[in-house]
Structure 1
Amino acid sequence: MTPLPAISGFLRPDGRKGIRNITLVCYLVECAHHVARKIVDKADQSDVHLIGFPGCFPNDYALKQLQSIVSHPNVGAILLVSLGCEGFNREALYDAAHRSGRPVDTLVIQQQGGTRSAIESGIMRVQALQQHIVVQREPMAVSELVIGTICGGSDGTSGITANPAVGKSFDKLVAQQATCIFEETGELIGCEQIMAERAATPELGNIITAAVDKASNYYKVLGYGSFAPGNAEGGLTTQEEKSMGAYSKSGSSQISGIIKPGDVPPRGGLYLLDVVPDGEPRFGFPNISDNAEIVEMIACGAHLILFTTGRGSVVGSAISPVIKVCANPETYRSLSEDMDINAGRILEEDTNIDEIGDEIYRAVLAVANGEPTKSEALGHQEFILTYKTFEPIGPQCLPFG
């Protein structure tokens, strides 16, 4: 068997280590999006990424996500791009980045004389920030990794190949004290009792059940759920069938806690991410795309994301690499340039879930050590952040001690 690669990462002032060294250009309102994008385009570097929030009126959720993201271990430096009159609290975001010890600067377009001069100033500021980024890698343990998983474009093969294989890789990672995050409560309806039985405490089990009930009620008010037409076309028949497939990504480890977007787990273990807003539905569907969920896992500190798909997907993400695990062998043949692992071999070859789980585990270590994923090599840097509202989690949601 091939020896496992040693991992190394970029040590940050807070003691966490990153597996990438990204410079963020972050727009704080849609009016600043074009200028920020041009700065990134003209920088023409794979490690300069565009992120942002389009809204003008403030939202505590969006601020919390970006505060977590600018201090993410994969981030080395930050340029904030403001129009100047938006409602977003740019000072609070700047302070969060500054407190994290990263080089940070703010570009206010209304103070720069317009589009062209703002873009020119932004390019120079990015170059200046990059002079102060930590560049030396240091040894990193598996226990320091945070890994998230989502599924998108699920079909009838997802729950019997890719998803349980990711679950196997999660079990191996959790056994080494890594932090693993799975979601989403809206796609786990019908599995709440099983998850409650795996919870570290009875109190946590009750909270997990309540979170799934909240998701079910939320979808009822909206008039539709997470079961999409594409799922039915791919052979899934019910929400519960889809839920069981999604649930299998979590593996069999004890569930240590439940978190909400932007909450960084305090230590290793398996965590459920509740992405359905609290309170009455105010902002529409909980996540309007797979990348919205990826962003929330990144805000929880995920170094990389395992993305399972049966129908196929071509997305990646800014900040944290995406490893795409394809459930369907026909989909893999059609989209092989975008897929990292062919879990569909379980259906066609002398390969089993344990072996694919081991392959995923090894891919996690290789990517953590700098090997690019397919989406990274293709230049994918998707990012989307919208409006939500959440109440803080309570002490029963996290592991004791």
Structure 2
Amino acid sequence: MQWQGYFRKDGRKGIRNYILVVYLVECAHHVAREIASQFREDTVQLIGFAGCYPNEYADRMMNALCTHPNVGGVLLVSLGCESFKRERLEENIRASGRPVHTVVIQEAGGTKKTITEGLSWLQESIPVVAAVSRVRMTVDELIVGTICGGSDATSGMTANPAVGRAFNKLVASKGIAIFEETGEMIGLEDIMSSRAVNPELAAVLKASVEKAARYYTLMGHGSFAPGNAEGGLTTIEEKSMGAYCKSGDSPISGLIKPGDRPTKPGLYLMDVVPDGDPKFGFPNINDNVEIAEMIASGCHTILFTTGRGSVVGSAISPVIKICANPQTYQRMSDDMDINAGAVLTGRTTIDEVGDDIFESILLVAAGRKTCSEELGHQEFILTYKTFTPIGPACLPA
């Protein structure tokens, strides 16, 4: 249960060693993509923020992502007139000990000259980042998140409870586990809050689900898609109970919000629903946004369960796909790491799949590529939201 991780000068350890090319406004997206695309065979990945209007959430998220332990260096691509605080972002990245450089399209002289400058910096920096120190890393240093997408009637019977078993083992091993989707826990407030480590946290957990219910009511939607119904789910309650199974049985140690990073071992709920009144048209559940939010909170890898089938991966942190439905696995095995649907065919048990998931976490941490990594998936979305950060103390502070 140990392997060689990548040591960062800020004291954290990563399981990957990527250089990020980061666009700071949609107007710089094409230039950044052209730069990153020249290094598809190298450890270079593209992320960015499309908005021009300033947003504290996006700024906080980007600062957390660019200093994630799986990131070894960053190239920032700016148009020049957007509101993103690029100087402060560069300073924070440099303070973390990572090589960083900013190219400004308006100052560099346009598309071609900016691409040339960016390519030159990457060519110089890739060997530097590759030479980062490798150090011993163990399971108690891992942060793992989980999310479900494309759920069907099998999700709550196989993949989701199996992830719960894996989370139980991770927490018992002194690691950090993060689950979320409070919008899919409406009606489960009392059940979930009963697992809180103290009464104060129980009240906070219950309030987070009540906030989700209010928000969804104001927005006029819920977390139940047509695809869920086509897959055999009949009610939001049924879907919610299945999604909740991913959290396992461990006591819940705290509540965090996107970008908050737990510092103590345990199981944490991430509240992904914005605070305050609706401002930015927060959409229904978006898997890629929430994956990015868990990564911003330090997740080294993400467990993604699906019944209908999903092909998404992620930039920065590898995604382990766990397929709930044996028929879906048969059709889409190239995209799936684990066949939890084998529980329904009698070939295995939920506990055994949970053991397989836990072993996969360790193997991926040690360097084995997931299916989404092999296929080149690097999905990433960063949107507008409004949150009141909690900080490392988590809630209740």
| Alpha-carbon distance, 1:349 to partner | 2.3
2: CA distance between counterparts of 1:269 and 1:377? 31
2: CA distance between counterparts of 1:71 and 1:101? 9
Change (3 A) 1:53 1:76: same
1:264 to 236, 256, 261: 261
| Alpha-carbon distance, 1:393 to partner | 2.3
Q: Percentage identity across aligned positions? A: 63
Root-mean-square deviation (CA, aligned residues, Å) is 1.4
- Structure 2 equivalent of residue 173 of structure 1: 170
Q: Which letter maps to 1:208? A: L
| SS at 2:156 equivalent | helix
After the TM superposition, which residues 290-309 of structure 1 pair with which residues of structure 2 at under 5 Å, given as runs?
Answer: 290-309=287-306
- Structure 2 equivalent of residue 284 of structure 1: 281
> Which has the larger displacement, 381-390 or 5-14?
5-14
1: CA distance between counterparts of 2:91 and 2:46? 20
2: CA distance between counterparts of 1:254 and 1:137? 33
2: CA distance between counterparts of 1:352 and 1:321? 25
2:182 to 140, 162, 185: 185
- Structure 2 equivalent of residue 84 of structure 1: 80
| Alpha-carbon distance, 1:395 to partner | 8.5
- Structure 2 equivalent of residue 275 of structure 1: 272
- Structure 2 equivalent of residue 204 of structure 1: 201
1: CA distance between counterparts of 2:142 and 2:284? 25
Structure 2 residue 50 is the aligned partner of structure 1 residue 57: no
1:252 to 249, 252, 257: 249
| SS at 1:389 equivalent | coil
- Tell me if the contact between 1:277 and 1:286 (Cα under 8 Å) persists in the aligned partners: no
| Alpha-carbon distance, 1:394 to partner | 7.5
2: CA distance between counterparts of 1:297 and 1:6? 23
1:139 to 136, 139, 144: 136
- Tell me if the contact between 1:154 and 1:311 (Cα under 8 Å) persists in the aligned partners: yes
Structure 2 residue 158 is the aligned partner of structure 1 residue 161: yes
TM-score normalised to structure 1 length = 0.96
| SS at 2:16 equivalent | coil
- Structure 2 equivalent of residue 38 of structure 1: 34
| Alpha-carbon distance, 1:129 to partner | 2.3
1:124 to 117, 120, 124: 120
| Alpha-carbon distance, 1:399 to partner | 7.6
- Structure 2 equivalent of residue 148 of structure 1: 145
- Tell me if the contact between 1:177 and 1:269 (Cα under 8 Å) persists in the aligned partners: yes
> Which has the larger displacement, 147-156 or 106-115?
106-115
| SS at 1:282 equivalent | coil
2: CA distance between counterparts of 1:150 and 1:297? 9
Deviation string, structure 1 residues 25-49 (Cα, Å, up to 9, x no partner): 0000000000000001112334100
Structure 2 residue 347 is the aligned partner of structure 1 residue 370: no
| Alpha-carbon distance, 1:368 to partner | 0.2
1: CA distance between counterparts of 2:121 and 2:211? 45
2:230 to 223, 227, 233: 233
- Structure 2 equivalent of residue 100 of structure 1: 96
- Structure 1 equivalent of residue 210 of structure 2: 213
- For structure 2, the 5+ residue unaligned runs are none
Q: Which letter maps to 2:331? A: S
Q: Between Structure 1 and Structure 2, how many residues are aligned?
A: 396
- Tell me if the contact between 1:28 and 1:80 (Cα under 8 Å) persists in the aligned partners: yes
| SS at 1:252 equivalent | coil
- For structure 1, the 5+ residue unaligned runs are none
Structure 2 residue 9 is the aligned partner of structure 1 residue 10: no
1: CA distance between counterparts of 2:146 and 2:91? 30
